[in-house]
Chain A
Amino acid sequence: MNARTEVLDRIRRALDDVPAGERPQDVPVPRQYSRGGQQPAGSTAAVELLAERLAEYGASVHLVSPQDVASRVGQSVAGLGTGSVVVPRGFPPEWRSALDPDRVLTDEPRLPVAELDRARAVVTTVAAAIATTGTLVLDGGPGQGRRALTLVPDVHVCVVRAGQVVASVPEVFTALDPVRPLTFVSGPSATSDIELDRVEGVHGPRTLEALIVV
């Protein structure tokens, strides 16, 4: 018997107390937990909660009006001194107008990892954000790029539109496509491994800056 057959066989034998006619949906799963919605998606309340929660976990947060996004992106990067800035394909051109074109790398053609490691920062959009948990969700869509781009550079500047902010975890799951590789980011990289105390900044970007367009 091969391993697959044998494991499946063992499972079926182990479950001989389960009635033969039982279907998965016959085992009740009560979903009485909150589906969110206390703060409607995109509302000022949701945006404020997101800003507060992101900040609590060590991200820096700026609320910006649509016409100020470009200059705020420029400022965030200018403060970092020299070094290139990765801006993935699909990032709105009007938001990068204040960046020095000589510093911008677009990942076209694909950047070698060593080059990513030398880049000073990455500027992206997001797919969605969860206010309650202070989470930004990336799905590799336009303006976000492949996963390595938002991982290797030490500074991640992330532009979030207010309309992308939902209140709760359940709300975001209905909006996401599981086929795409997803990354949920809640604050800069951190560890609790030394005496279970939280320290920010290990392998992922040590600086996370969120610009929320309101």
Chain B
Amino acid sequence: MNDATFLGMPAFPTAAASALRDSQLRGNLARATGTIRSRRAAAVAEQDDWEQLREAGRAVKERTLRHLDRYLLQVEEKVTAAGGKVHWARDAEEARRIVVGLVQDTGEREVVKVKSMVTQEIGLNEALADAGIDAYETDLAELIVQLGQDQPSHILVPAIHRNRAEIREIFLRSMGAYGTAAPADLDDDPRRLADAARRHLREKFLRAKVAVSGVNFLVAETGTAVVVESEGNGRMCLTLPETLISVAGIEKVVPTWQDLEVFLQLLPRSSTGERMNPYTSTWTGTTADDGPRAFHLVLLDGGRTNALADPVGRQVLNCIRCSACLNVCPVYERVGGHAYGSVYPGPIGAVLSPQLRGTTSEVDRALPYASSLCGACYEVCPVKINIPEVLVHLRARIVEEGRERLVPKPERLAMAAARWVLSRPSRLTAAQRAGALAARLVARRGRVGRLPGPLSRWTDTRDVPVLPAETFSAWWKGTHR
């Protein structure tokens, strides 16, 4: 199976410009994000205490991060006491080595996988393939990506850039090569597509001896791991195999069992716009007569301590990967996930990737500019990550790092992707307001640089149409039903 990577991908402005020319992609994205935005809005509106939940979620994460060492030690102690084994990985390479070694110890040549951002982040499938181990993705969207020899483009729905007709093509073309083929008369009815996936994966679930997963949360006080999902592929992987290997970023910890009551309300409503996702599994170590006999938990740093060391940037580690910020992002909607050159696309990717990977590559230096700073991401974020603040902060940092020479030119920054901002007066209002916000943030942090950069420059040097009274949110609501 093809194992394409994000390596060597062009930096955001170039990638965005080419994505913008792809009208099929834009159509698929606009339709999908439009659907999910209205579902999320309805699910959130129904929860009267939404703001209180957000504040609790943010605060729990802040407490956790400020005392992360102690909570991780607690996780280790509790998981071990419950029959699990905890492994620590400094970086992606070490994590890959640990997981590959654990699979090899079982003597098995194949694993089933539950969708997990972190295993993509560390490039696990490629490492398993190199070791002669077949890794089967079992989440429908991941399956579409894997069979299509493609790259994921969304946190929650990695195949969001594919429409039903394309998915049908991929299934018909590729399923047979890896197991049960798609029925020859497969049409593009989503029900039949889902059914084809069910048949294709069934035999793999039933014979699987080893599964690899991520986790959504790790409870320090009990050592409990949590996986939130919809299809039941997660349950299959967590329940049927003999060995379960779960990889977790060190930021996945929450202190107490009670804290889950907050996140299990915030996550589904923000993510799929459901009151609750169909399945949530929790497990603590191993259980006699139920589920895997061996449980391994791999705790990964992978650059997270870099983000932790930055008191402004630290808040990105609050992220519960709900993808709400992608779905509301006007830039993401137009350029899609691939343009971000990272497994973490959209607003969260723009603030997370440069902190995890550092700002030495052009791709990572361009990412904090992949935004119009409109603030929609902050408004929807269930754990209140102030993404615009972190974006501006990272821009300042990139400039300060003395790499002005390498900072993309303002005109390029005004970006292929942000060009749309200027094509409508109301968008410009938002951009200007964002510019003002950026300036405030910059001033507050006592930094003066060539900031807030591109958008204000555009407005400084161009005739601007009369601005409508409508606010960005009003425009947004009026045009994105």
| Interface hit among B65-73, B360-368, B404-412 | B65-73
Chain B at the A interface: SS class: helix
Chain A residues whose CB sits within 8 angstroms of the CB of B306 once the complex forms: 14
| Residue A104, interface by CB 8 Å | no
Given A135-B276, A181-B281, does the pair A113, B222 have CB atoms closer than 8 Å? no
Q: Is the CB of B231 within 8 A of A178?
A: no
> Do the beta carbons of A151 and B305 come within 8 Å of each other?
no
Cross-chain contact A187 with B56 (CB below 8 angstroms): no
A201 to B283, CA, bound (A): 24
Residues of B244-274 at the interface with A, using a CB-CB cut-off of 8 Å, are: 250, 255, 257-258, 260-262, 264-265, 268, 272, 274
Cβ contacts under 8 Å, B232 to chain A: 151, 189, 202-205
Taken together as a complex, chains A and B put the C-alpha atoms of A193 and B171 apart, in Å, by: 14
Contact B239 A202 (CB under 8 A): no
Q: Is B230 an interface residue (CB 8 A)?
A: yes
The answer to whether B235 touches A183 (Cβ under 8 A) is yes
Is the C-beta of A78 less than 8 angstroms from some C-beta in chain B?
A: no
A48 at the interface (CB under 8 A from B): no
Q: A29-B63, A181-B284 are in contact. Are A186 and B56 (CB under 8 A)?
A: no
Contact A189 B279, beta carbon cutoff 8 Å: yes
Which residues of chain A are within 8 angstroms of B305 by Cβ–Cβ distance?
A: 7, 10-11, 13-14
Complex Cα–Cα for A203 and B5 (A): 28
- How large, as a class, is the contact surface on chain B? 35 or more
Q: B278 and A186: CB pair below 8 A?
A: yes
Contact A194 B190 (CB under 8 A): yes
Stretch with Cβ within 8 A of B (4 or more), from A20-28, A62-70, A92-100, A120-128: A20-28
Total interface residues in chain A, CB < 8 Å = 74
Query: C-beta contact mask, A84-107 vs B, less than 8 Å → 1, else 0?
Result: 000000000000000000000000
Determine how close the nearest CB of chain A comes to the CB of B298; give it in whole angstroms. 10
The residues of B that contact A114 with a CB separation of less than 8 Å are 206
Q: How far does the Cβ of B88 sit from chain A's closest Cβ, in whole Å?
A: 4
Bound-complex Cα distance A134 to B278 (A): 10
In whole angstroms, how far apart are the Cα atoms of A195 and B165 in the complex? Answer: 11
A196 close to B (CB within 8 Å): yes
Task: Tell me whether A196 and B231 are in contact in the complex, defined as CB-CB below 8 angstroms, given that A17-B311, A117-B206 are known contacts.
Answer: no
User: Distance (Å) between the CB of A37 and the closest chain B CB?
Assistant: 13
Minimum C-beta distance from B90 to chain A (A): 5
A186 with B277: in contact, given A10-B305, A192-B36, A199-B191 (CB under 8 Å)? yes
A80 interfacial contact with B, CB 8 Å: no
Within 8 A of B (CB), among A176-214: 178-199, 201-205
Tell me if B206 and A29 are in contact (CB < 8 A). no
B163, CB-defined interface residue at 8 Å = yes
Indicate which residue in B48, B160, B278 contacts A196 across the interface (CB closer than 8 Å).
B160
Query: Is the CB–CB distance between B255 and A14 below 8 Å?
Result: no
Q: Are B63 and A194 touching (Cβ within 8 A)?
A: no
The answer to whether the Cβ of A34 comes within 8 Å of any Cβ in the partner chain is yes
Does A82 sit at the interface, judged by CB under 8 A? no
Q: Complex Cα distance A114/B276, Å?
A: 30
| A133 and B231 in contact, given A18-B66, A196-B32 (Cβ under 8 angstroms) | no
Nearest CB in chain A: distance from B208 CB, A: 10
Q: Residues of A contacting B144 with CB < 8 Å?
A: 193
A116 to chain B minimum Cβ distance, whole angstroms, is 9
Asked if B35 is an interface residue, CB under 8 A from chain A, the answer is yes
Q: How far is the CB of A88 from chain B (nearest CB, A)?
A: 11
**Residue among B32, B156, B201, B306 having the largest count of chain A Cβ atoms under 10 Å:** B32
B235: A residues at CB distance < 8 A: 147, 151, 183, 203-204
| Docked CA distance A86–B11 (Å) | 55
Q: List which B130-160 residues lie within 8 A (CB) of chain A.
A: 138-141, 144, 156-157, 159-160
Closest to A135 in B: B276
Check A169/B261 contact, CB under 8 A, given A7-B299, A33-B56: yes
Per-position 1/0 for A143-157, Cβ under 8 A of B? 000111001100000
Which of B197, B231, B250, B291 gathers most chain A CB within 10 Å? B231
Cα(A24)–Cα(B224), bound, Å? 20
Interface mask (B205-245 → A, CB under 8 Å = 1, otherwise 0): 11000000000000100101000001111011011100000
Contacts of B240 in A (CB 8 A): 113, 148, 151-152
Least CB separation from A170: chain B residue = B261
Chain B residues in 8 Å Cβ range of A185: 278-279
Distance in Å: Cβ of A175 to nearest Cβ of chain B: 11
Say yes or no: B190 contacts A195, CB within 8 Å: yes
Q: With A134-B276, A189-B279 in contact, do A4 and B88 touch (Cβ < 8 Å)?
A: yes
Interface residues of B (CB under 8 A from A): 28, 31-33, 35-36, 48-49, 52-53, 55-56, 59-60, 62-63, 66-73, 82, 87-90, 94, 138-141, 144, 156-157, 159-160, 163-164, 167, 190-191, 193-195, 197-198, 201-202, 205-206, 219, 222, 224, 230-233, 235-236, 238-240, 250, 255, 257-258, 260-262, 264-265, 268, 272, 274-284, 287, 289-291, 299, 301, 305-306, 308-309, 311
Given contacts A14-B306, A196-B36, 19 further A-B contacts (CB under 8 A): A11-B305, A13-B309, A27-B66, A34-B48, A114-B206, A147-B290, A178-B222, A178-B284, A186-B278, A189-B231, A189-B279, A192-B36, A195-B164, A195-B190, A201-B198, A202-B140, A202-B194, A203-B205, A203-B235
